[in-house]
Amino acid sequence: MTYCVGMNLDAGLVFLSDSRTNAGVDNINTFRKMNVFERPGERVMLLMTSGNLAITQTVVSLLKEQMASHDANLSLWNVPNMFEAARVVGDAMREVYRRDAEALQHFGVDFSANVVLGGQIFGEPPRLFQVYSAGNFIESTEETPYFQIGETKYGKPIIDRVLRRETPLPVAAKCALISMDSTIRSNLSVGLPLDLVVVRTNECKVSIHQKIVAEDPYFRMIRNHWGEALREAFVHLPEPDWQ
């Protein structure tokens, strides 16, 4: 299991991912789910993955092979816009499905993979997509400016209450970290270290890439103060009047 969230705001993009994978309580490992591709000033793309680790790693490797090849018709380096970038990722997902799905099914393993892709190519605004196992995808909207993949339910309430398109990037990053903390507290299969990436609109490059470990002072403050604030708010709420 994993948890990743990507936010598309007027001021830019915020991406946050954990790095824990598990195949049972006695087989827990750390693998990064965040992939960054950038040519500063021209294009920057962020790709986060969840699902079967072998599938998602193969998809990312296939994308990197295309980017390194001079013979590839389309790759993330030469697509004209982010919509075409989402199509390239979807095609890579379908290619891995064609190669591996039947063998996985033979062993009782579902073909499960999800990708959040976001970024900006010079000449268009930042855009955010979610790509599904079938290779199809959807794009974020004004009303829904974020996508989550993995263990989504615990971190969703705070985002729904706080996040708007006009939310400043520091506030959005704080919201993402609280969302992650809520998920970590409720699901042992999500854990540190975390990758936090911020891209400011029209810079076409990574503005902040922070690896967050358990000793990170800001994340520790978030964890402590948020829990205290929730408990205090709960205490001050009146009891039901039907008692």
Q: Is the peptide bond before 193 cis (omega within 30 degrees of 0)?
A: yes
pLDDT for 24 equals 46
pLDDT for 188 equals 84
Question: What are phi and psi for residue 234, nearest 5 degrees?
Answer: -65, -45
pLDDT for 26 equals 45
Its sign, for the CA torsion 158, 226, 180, 43, is positive
pLDDT for 145 equals 98
Reported as a single tens digit per residue, the pLDDT across 102-111 is 999 999 999 9
Reported as a single tens digit per residue, the pLDDT across 124-181 is 999 999 999 999 999 999 999 999 999 999 999 999 999 999 999 999 999 999 999 9
pLDDT for 177 equals 98
pLDDT for 70 equals 84
pLDDT for 72 equals 77
Which residues of the chain have a pLDDT value below 70? 21-30, 243
pLDDT for 234 equals 95
Q: What is the number of other CB atoms lying within 10 angstroms of the CB of residue 81?
A: 14
pLDDT for 91 equals 98
pLDDT for 21 equals 66
Q: How far is CA 58 from CA 103, 160, 183, 226, in A?
A: 15, 33, 27, 38
CA angle 143, 144, 145 (to 5 degrees): 110
pLDDT for 11 equals 98
pLDDT for 27 equals 43
- What residues contact residue 6 under an 8 Å CB cut-off, 6+ apart? 13, 14, 15, 16, 46, 48, 116, 118, 128, 146, 147
pLDDT for 22 equals 55
Q: Using CA atoms, how far apart are residues 77 and 60, in angstroms rounded to an integer?
A: 14
Q: What is the number of other CB atoms lying within 10 angstroms of the CB of residue 37?
A: 18
